[in-house]
Structure 1
Amino acid sequence: MSQEHTPLTEGVYYILLALYEPRHGYGIMQFAEEMSNGRVKLGAGTIYGAIKSLLKKKWIKAYEEDGRKKEYIITDLGKEIVEFEVARLKELYINGQNLLNREEL
């Protein structure tokens, strides 16, 4: 994974997390809202615009349709992106905590 990876938006981050299991758009919205304790509310336009972009990047793919709503699932490349983002966020958190702890001394 390139060090030049652009940080994910919060919406895209939650969409990718949601798709560790097959989900349709409404399921993604529910997942993001529940996981963020109601703080992140993704609209249909946001979801479907992001899905189109993520499909193009091959971070997600269409899951087998069962005749109902189309579902999506994360790809191995998408999982690498999430792992990179989690490591990046962890570094940010640790650096912030270290600075705050130093200032408390």
Structure 2
Amino acid sequence: MAREQFKTLTEPMYYILLTLIEPQHGYSIMQEVDRRTDGRVKIGAGTLYNLLSRFEEEKIIAQVSEENRRKVYTITDKGLDILKDEYHRLVQLVSDGRHHLERGR
């Protein structure tokens, strides 16, 4: 079910999972996504914690510790597979676009 449900990821989903290659807590995830996208992708607290909950429920991420009441998460092997699949899908989209849009008319 999770594979189908997360077959294509939204930008916030993609960047959250990308950020969680290194263990992070919620606030640092928001900061890191902002930094990696030069402020283009903003993730609000409600969206973030809803997605973290869904990802954890589907075993896409796992809580690895709790520091000062901050839960620290990391991506699981299952989550990494989903992230890599999405990366390859996006690369194919760009390749298709380049092929059709950048050739001379």
Q: TM-score, normalised by structure 1?
A: 0.90
Q: Give the percent of matched residue pairs that are identical in Structure 1 and Structure 2.
A: 43
Aligned length in residues = 103
Q: Give 1 or 2: higher strand fraction.
A: 2
- Give the Cα–Cα distance (whole angstroms) in 1 for the partners of residues 5 and 72 of structure 2: 30
Q: Alpha carbons of 1:5 and 1:15: their partners in 2 closer, same or farther (altered >3 Å)?
A: closer
Q: Which runs of 4+ in 1 moved over 4 A?
A: 2-5
Letter in 2 for 1:86: Y
Conserved 8 A contact 2:7-2:86: no
User: Structure 2 stretches of 5 or more lacking a match?
Assistant: none
Question: What does 1:67-86 align with in structure 2 at a 5 Å threshold?
Answer: 67-86=68-87
SS of the residue 2:66 aligns to: coil
Q: TM-score, normalised by structure 2?
A: 0.90
SS of the residue 1:72 aligns to: strand
User: Structure 1 stretches of 5 or more lacking a match?
Assistant: none
Q: Alpha carbons of 1:47 and 1:3: their partners in 2 closer, same or farther (altered >3 Å)?
A: closer
- Give the Cα–Cα distance (whole angstroms) in 1 for the partners of residues 48 and 31 of structure 2: 11
- Give the Cα–Cα distance (whole angstroms) in 2 for the partners of residues 54 and 86 of structure 1: 18
